[in-house]
């Protein structure tokens, strides 16, 4: 597994305490799991995606990731409606391991409240949190 210093934590996304990322994409947001989460889970073999049109509250579970080691819930970083899911993950779930911030995105969401983005962490704040945990 990677050392904390080796993690790739880009500055153009916001982070949650439960290791998801959110990227503002002109009115809607893309959501995925970050480099730390994919590294901890190991090889991801199955992704359970929500239905397009489903509405979730911030913090609610919207899907599951199954790796060779564990099954984990993915939580909503913000409240909103799912407007797209990454269907490529059904056949190639390993995209999350390979490209967690790009091709490995999981869902696209229309935000209920754009200000909610401000409640999430920047990459440096997230890094501090991880160091605190370690």
**Binding residue for other proteins, selected from 2, 69, 110, 131, defined by CB under 8 A:** 69
- Which 97-126 positions form the footprint of other proteins (CB under 8 A)? none
Q: Which stretch binds other proteins (CB under 8 A): 15-23, 70-78, 95-103, 107-115?
A: 70-78
**Binding residue for other proteins, selected from 52, 70, 83, 88, defined by CB under 8 A:** 70
Minimal distance in Å, beta carbon 23 to other proteins? 28
Residue among 92, 93, 87, 39 nearest 65 (CA): 93
- Cα dihedral 32, 36, 41, 45, rounded to 10, equals 40
* Paired tokens of 122: 């920047």
Instruction: Supply the DSSP string of 72-91, one letter for each residue.
Output: EEEE-SS-EEEEEE-THHHH
Residues that bind other proteins (CB under 8 A): 46, 48, 66-71, 73
């Amino acid at each position: 597994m990677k050392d904390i210093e080796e993690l790739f934590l880009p500055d153009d996304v916001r982070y949650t305490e439960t290791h998801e990322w959110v990227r503002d994409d002109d009115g809607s947001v893309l959501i995925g799991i970050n480099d730390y989460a994919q590294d901890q889970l190991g090889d991801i073999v199955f992704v359970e995606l929500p239905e397009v049109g489903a509405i979730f509250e911030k913090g609610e579970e919207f899907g599951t990731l199954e790796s060779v080691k564990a099954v984990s819930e993915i939580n909503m970083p913000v409240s909103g409606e799912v407007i797209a899911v990454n269907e490529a993950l059904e056949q190639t779930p390993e995209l999350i391991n390979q490209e967690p911030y790009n091709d490995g995105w999981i869902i696209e969401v229309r935000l209920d409240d754009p200000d909610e983005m401000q409640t999430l962490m920047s990459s440096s704040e997230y890094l501090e949190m991880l160091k605190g945990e370690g």
